[in-house]
């Protein structure tokens, strides 16, 4: 550090890299803040050297979606969230098969293929890792979220292209051609942002910002006008209130993203357990909209229903072409295909019949998916048969529901169970509740949350005032990414309107 800031003529005029001799940080304080590092100038054109991530495939429900990471830490970040089937390093230009796993919970998110392209032999000439997920917005969003949590930054529109250009990978005409796209997306994003500016989220975020700006104004006045008489203030309550709001917004964010993007639910089970009638019963339970979508494969039928407000694509593996082949008749392959892209499995069993080896075979396919057991035809089950038993122990079983597609009994309970499972066990939000539904907003809220926690901890531990100001500024800037505001002259406005200072 003692040399890193040194200025020379060349440096001052046209500064090259000069960081040699920078000593590594030491000390308790040093380690404590290492983990909460985030860009402060996120709103600017990103020509930074951090690692960016984004979903690289167009939105929709194609067979495969790709999460792409680019930057020096791309590989390290993916290693944190990827569990390959066979252990071993990620080698350049080799596809690896395995699972994306939430490092915090160990939960398997999706079955994926991972490709690592080492710099400079990649689109951006940086280290690039592509994670091919099994399509559907849910696993893609979750995988992207994990990559962001593991240290990547959400890429701006066109940023991969920009890096490719800056690193000499594509030429000027190619870059300029993409610029139109960048601009179009920026304009669209801006329009969207402006539409939201008048909305509830902007109001919530603005009120938090206003309160935090007052805190920052106080901290700044104390530092910049040490000789003025300023009433001591306790920032604790304001910081805690701001933090509470941010955390409330964050708590709703995962839900909000599901509400916006929806989820895929596979209905699996051996033939004749009533899968199709269950699908129809669920569709009837949706009194909102029913949009029939032609099956994306010829062997499955997909319908979209709104279950407790969540747009759910129900995939019925009963298929439309029954086969003569006895193995095909069981529908193993169809079930496997449907489960691959699903966020949740409904394992349908016949409550009126004893379990069969076919039930067990199908059940085995669901072991890696969150699953709900559906005991259909429960109206036909005799009283003395007692409670049914699951075909095999299931590690990701989220519950079981008894239904009768014929009478409609238990269908609403099933719809609630599906919604609850998709919302991660959190009770569904009230109908009037508003949720953050944009991953970019969630990303900003997460950073604001971290900096606010640091600021509050610093305040409670009586850290030097100026350092608390640093965290407050970072939190304000993160929140400002949502409303399009940065800390600048508005701070001075608050200072001069609230504090009587100056000689």
Helix, strand or coil, per DSSP, at residue 105? coil
Q: Which of 85, 200, 203, 228 binds another protein (CB under 8 A)?
A: 228
The pair phi, psi for residue 188, each rounded to 5°, is: -65, -45
* CB nearer another protein, residue 145 or residue 470: 470
Instruction: Establish how many alpha carbons lie within 13 A of residue 92's alpha carbon, considering only the half-sphere containing its beta carbon.
Output: 9
SS3 track for 311-359: EEEEEECCCCCCCCCHHHHHCHHHHHHHHHCCCEEEEEEECCCCCCHHH
Of 471-490, binders to another protein (CB under 8 A) are: 473
Place of tokens 């000593």: 23
What crossing angle do the helices spanning 236-261 and 137-149 adopt, rounded to 10°?
Answer: 150
The nearest distance, CB 167 to another protein, in angstroms, is 11
* Residue of 39, 84, 98, 151 that binds another protein (CB under 8 A): 39
Among 72, 180, 248, 298, binds another protein (CB under 8 A): 180
12 near another protein (CB under 8 A): yes
List the one residue from 26, 104, 387, 431 that touches another protein (CB under 8 A): 26
3-class SS at 131?
A: strand
387 CB-contact burial (10 Å; exposed 0-12 / middle 13-18 / buried 19+): exposed
162/479 with CB nearer another protein: 162
Tokens 């949350």, residue located = 449
Does 195 sit near another protein (CB under 8 A)? no
Is 289 an interacting residue with respect to another protein (CB under 8 A)?
Answer: no
Asked if 1 touches another protein (CB under 8 A), the answer is yes
Q: Which of 389, 371, 413 is nearest to 281 (CA)?
A: 413
What residues numbered 43-72 form the site for another protein, per CB under 8 A? 44-50
Closest CB to another protein among 15 and 236?
15
Q: Which stretch, 105-113, 232-240, 250-258, 461-469, contacts another protein (CB under 8 A)?
A: 461-469
Compute the distance between CA of residue 359 and CA of residue 352 in angstroms, rounded to an integer. 13
Q: Are 310 and 104 in contact (CB under 8 A)?
A: no
Measured CA to CA, the distance from residue 107 to residue 434 in angstroms comes to: 27
414: helix, strand or coil: helix
- Is 120 an interacting residue with respect to another protein (CB under 8 A)? no
- Measured from the CB of residue 494, what is the shortest distance to another protein in angstroms? 11
Please select the residue that binds another protein; options are 87, 386, 393, 502, rule is CB under 8 A. 502
| Contact mark string toward another protein, 208..227, x via CB under 8 A | ------------x-xxxxxx
Q: Six-digit token pair at 164? A: 């490719």
| Residue (224 or 322) nearer to another protein, CB | 224
32 near another protein (CB under 8 A):
yes
Nearer to another protein among residue 224 and residue 360 (C-beta): 224
| Sign of the torsion formed by the C-alpha atoms of 433, 437, 442 and 448 | negative
* Residue 222 burial (C-beta neighbours within 10 Å; 0-12, 13-18, 19+): middle
139-178 positions binding another protein, by CB under 8 A: 156, 158, 162, 165-166, 172, 175-176
Which one of 58-66, 181-189, 338-346, 367-375 is the stretch in contact with another protein (CB under 8 A)? Answer: 181-189
Given phi > 0 = left and psi -120 to 50 = alpha, else beta, which region is 386? left
Q: Does 413 bind another protein (CB under 8 A)?
A: no
> CA 284, 290, 296: angle at the middle one, nearest 5?
115
Smallest distance from another protein to CB 42, Å: 10
- Of positions 20, 23, 324, 430, contacts another protein by CB under 8 A: 23
For residue 283, state whether it binds another protein (rule: CB under 8 A): no
- Would you say 425 and 254 are in contact if contact means Cβ atoms under 8 Å apart? no
Structure tokens at 138: 């849910």
234 binds another protein (CB under 8 A): no
Among 101, 149, 179, 420, binds another protein (CB under 8 A): 179
> Which of 91, 229, 326, 395 is the binder for another protein (CB under 8 A)?
229
Q: Is residue 460 close enough to count as binding another protein by CB under 8 A? A: no
Residues forming beta bridges with residue 55, ordered by sequence position: 67
Stretch near another protein under the rule CB under 8 A, chosen from 26-34, 85-93, 202-210, 276-284: 26-34
Q: How many CB atoms lie within 10 A of CB 10?
A: 10
Using CB under 8 A as the binding rule, the residues of this chain from 317 to 376 that contact another protein are none
Residues that bind another protein (rule: CB under 8 A) add up to a total of 81
Stretch that binds another protein, among 201-209, 306-314, 375-383, 465-473 (CB under 8 A): 465-473
Measured from the CB atom, is 84 or 189 closer to another protein?
189
């Amino acid at each position: 550090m003692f040399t890193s800031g040194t200025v020379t003529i060349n440096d001052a005029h046209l500064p090259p890299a000069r960081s040699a001799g920078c000593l590594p940080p030491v000390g308790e304080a040093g380690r404590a803040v290492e983990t909460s590092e985030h860009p402060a100038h996120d709103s600017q054109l990103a020509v930074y050297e951090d690692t960016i991530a984004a979903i690289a495939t167009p939105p929709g429900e194609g067979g495969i979606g790709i999460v792409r990471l680019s930057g020096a830490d791309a590989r390290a970040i993916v290693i944190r969230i990827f569990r390959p089937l066979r252990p071993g390093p990620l080698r350049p230009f080799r596809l690896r098969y395995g699972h994306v796993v939430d490092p915090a919970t160990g939960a398997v998110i999706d079955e994926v293929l991972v490709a690592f392209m080492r710099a400079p032999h990649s689109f951006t000439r940086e280290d690039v890792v592509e994670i091919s997920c099994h399509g559907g917005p849910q696993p893609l969003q979750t995988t992207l979220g994990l990559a962001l949590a593991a240290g990547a930054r959400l890429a701006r529109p066109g940023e991969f292209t920009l890096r490719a250009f800056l690193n000499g990978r594509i030429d000027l005409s190619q870059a300029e051609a993409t610029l139109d796209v960048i601009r179009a997306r920026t304009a669209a994003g801006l329009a969207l942002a402006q539409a939201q500016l008048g909305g509830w989220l902007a109001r919530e975020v603005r009120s938090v910002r206003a309160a935090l700006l007052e805190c920052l104004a106080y901290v700044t006045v104390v530092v910049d006008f040490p000789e003025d008489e300023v009433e001591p203030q306790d920032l604790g309550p304001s910081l805690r209130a701001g933090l509470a709001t941010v955390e409330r917004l964050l708590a709703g964010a995962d839900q909000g993203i599901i509400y916006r993007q929806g989820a895929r639910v596979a209905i699996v089970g051996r033939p004749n357990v009533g899968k199709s009638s269950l699908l129809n019963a669920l569709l009837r339970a949706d009194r909102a909209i029913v949009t029939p979508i032609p099956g994306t494969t010829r062997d499955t039928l997909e319908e979209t229903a709104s279950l407790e407000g969540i747009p759910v694509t129900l995939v019925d593996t009963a298929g439309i072409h029954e086969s003569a082949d006895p193995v095909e008749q069981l529908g193993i392959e169809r079930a496997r295909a449907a489960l691959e892209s699903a966020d949740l499995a409904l394992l349908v069993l016949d409550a009126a019949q004893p379990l069969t080896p076919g039930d067990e075979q199908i059940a085995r396919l669901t072991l890696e998916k969150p699953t709900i057991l559906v005991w259909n035809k429960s109206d036909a089950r005799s009283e003395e048969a007692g409670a049914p038993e699951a075909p095999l122990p299931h590690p990701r079983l989220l519950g079981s529901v008894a239904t009768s597609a014929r009478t409609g009994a238990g269908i609403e309970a099933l719809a609630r169970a599906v919604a609850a499972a998709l919302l991660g066990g959190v009770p569904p939000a009230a109908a009037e509740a508003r949720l953050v539904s944009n991953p970019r907003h969630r990303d900003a809220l997460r950073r604001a949350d971290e900096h606010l926690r640091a600021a509050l901890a610093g305040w409670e531990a009586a850290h030097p005032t100026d350092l608390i100001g640093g965290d407050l500024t970072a939190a304000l800037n993160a929140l400002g990414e949502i409303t399009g505001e940065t800390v600048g002259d508005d701070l001075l406005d608050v200072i001069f309107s609230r504090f009587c200072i100056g000689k």
